[in-house]
């Protein structure tokens, strides 16, 4: 009878938990980034807490204000400038001021015969077909950007609501850090060493993924935008953000942007600009990825590059941009769970409890 009661209560607990998660689903991004930000800025909060004589509310409020000043306000300003630049860029493409057809004609003229035959199999050997597909893609992109610009007013309330939820949650996560950690540890039905392993792995992956990947992405995007601006390439801020986004993908990175642009410069006769971009991209932008990423990300997560790449791509495909955090975290928790299971099994076999 006791077993039936326990199982019934367990099912009730699971059902209520799923219902609560369903209620929070519209704000899952705010909850995610509130938690991530709390993990990232926990050391700063602890330092402020110590400096302010253990006044938890004041320390938490001060941490939130610092985050607003150094993170949220600059990102908001960059997003506003990016929207204007993106609209301007697509307007130039749509009006024909940026002649991409001429670029494809020049590339087509210098391609070897085997490449043209290969493109012909995909229906891309004809310049007209390429231009038609490109025009359709650019038209769709232009309409999407314009629609997003028109929807900014409609989305303002959602953005403000999510931002408020994130900051509100962040305040309490920082202020009640110890109490919340204790309640979570008491509720999770795992041994103390297993709980510690999971919590440690979660914190390490969050810090490595967000701090490491974001730092690499921001640095590569800034360097790419700088060289684009110096070379007089249109919309340098837009391309800087695009390169930063692609930099979140290990082993792929910003080269997907600057390499085609360098080719464009070379085939359109801007030889020295193309050579400078290739040298800068390979030696400076590439060095950031090859040197800093293993230090900031790989050494902390202890995950192979292919696992990080696949989990990041899968996370972005499933959860959108939030997936670049969710994907690696799930992958790290998967590896940690099996490591803990394997270690527990080995201990049990030594003790003779498993035969």
Tracing tokens 């607990």 back to the chain, one arrives at 13
Q: Distance between CA 332 and CA 353 in Å, rounded?
A: 29
Averaged pLDDT, 320-333? 79
Say if residue 355's pLDDT is above 60. no
| Residue that wins the pLDDT comparison between 105 and 15 | 15
- CB neighbour list of residue 231: distance below 8 Å, 6 or more residues apart: 265, 273, 276, 277
Q: Distance between CA 183 and CA 12 in Å, rounded?
A: 19
Backbone φ and ψ for 347, nearest 5 degrees, come out as -65, -40
pTM above 0.75, yes or no: no
Tokens read off for 156: 């303002």
Among residues of the chain, what percentage have pLDDT more than 90? 4
Q: Distance between CA 293 and CA 296 in Å, rounded?
A: 5
- CB neighbour list of residue 262: distance below 8 Å, 6 or more residues apart: 274, 277, 278, 281
pLDDT tens, 175-191?
A: 888 788 777 777 777 77
- pLDDT score for 66: 92
Which of the listed ranges 78-82, 319-323, 347-351 does the model predict with the highest average pLDDT? 319-323
Counting every residue, how long is the chain? 355
Per the prediction, the chain carries an average pLDDT of 75
Q: How far is CA 118 from the centre of its chain?
A: 35
Say if residue 346's pLDDT is above 70. yes
Averaged pLDDT, 36-41? 85
Which of the listed ranges 147-156, 197-206, 219-228, 251-260 does the model predict with the highest average pLDDT? 219-228
pLDDT tens, 123-163?
A: 555 555 555 565 555 555 555 555 555 454 445 667 788 88
Which of the listed ranges 65-79, 109-123, 131-145 does the model predict with the highest average pLDDT? 65-79
- CB neighbour list of residue 162: distance below 8 Å, 6 or more residues apart: 27, 29, 30
- Measured between alpha carbons, how far is residue 257 from residues 62, 86, 157, 350, 352 in Å? 39, 15, 34, 54, 58
């Amino acid at each position: 009878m006791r077993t039936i009661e326990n199982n019934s209560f367990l099912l009730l607990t699971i059902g209520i938990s799923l219902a609560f998660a369903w209620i929070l689903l519209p704000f899952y991004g705010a909850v995610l980034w509130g938690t991530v930000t709390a993990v990232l800025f926990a050391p700063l909060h602890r330092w402020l807490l110590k400096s302010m004589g253990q006044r938890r509310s004041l320390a938490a409020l001060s941490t939130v204000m610092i985050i607003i000043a150094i993170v949220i306000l600059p990102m908001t300003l960059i997003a506003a400038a990016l929207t204007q630049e993106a609209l301007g860029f697509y307007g130039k493409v749509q009006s024909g001021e940026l002649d991409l057809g001429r670029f494809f004609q020049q590339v087509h003229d210098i391609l070897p015969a085997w490449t043209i035959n290969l493109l012909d199999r995909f229906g891309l050997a004809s310049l007209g077909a390429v231009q038609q597909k490109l025009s359709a893609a650019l038209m769709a992109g232009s309409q999407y950007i314009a629609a997003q610009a028109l929807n900014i007013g409609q989305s303002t309330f959602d953005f403000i609501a999510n931002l408020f939820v994130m900051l509100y949650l962040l305040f309490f996560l920082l202020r009640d850090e110890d109490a919340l950690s204790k309640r979570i540890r008491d509720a999770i039905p795992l041994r103390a060493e297993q709980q510690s392993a999971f919590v440690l792995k979660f914190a390490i992956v969050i810090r490595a993924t967000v701090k490491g990947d974001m730092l690499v992405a921001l640095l590569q995007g800034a360097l790419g935008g700088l060289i684009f601006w110096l070379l007089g390439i249109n919309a340098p801020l837009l391309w800087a953000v695009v390169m930063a986004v692609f930099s979140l993908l290990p082993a792929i990175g910003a080269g997907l942007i600057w390499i085609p642009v360098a080719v464009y410069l070379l085939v359109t006769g801007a030889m020295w600009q193309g050579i400078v971009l290739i040298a800068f991209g390979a030696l400076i932008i590439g060095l950031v990825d090859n040197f800093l990423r293993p230090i900031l990300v790989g050494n902390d997560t202890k995950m192979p590059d292919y696992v990080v790449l696949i989990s990041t791509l899968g996370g972005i495909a499933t959860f959108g941009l939030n997936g670049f955090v969710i994907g690696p975290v799930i992958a790290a928790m998967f590896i940690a769970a099996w490591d803990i299971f394997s270690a527990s099994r080995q201990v049990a076999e030594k003790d003779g409890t498993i035969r």
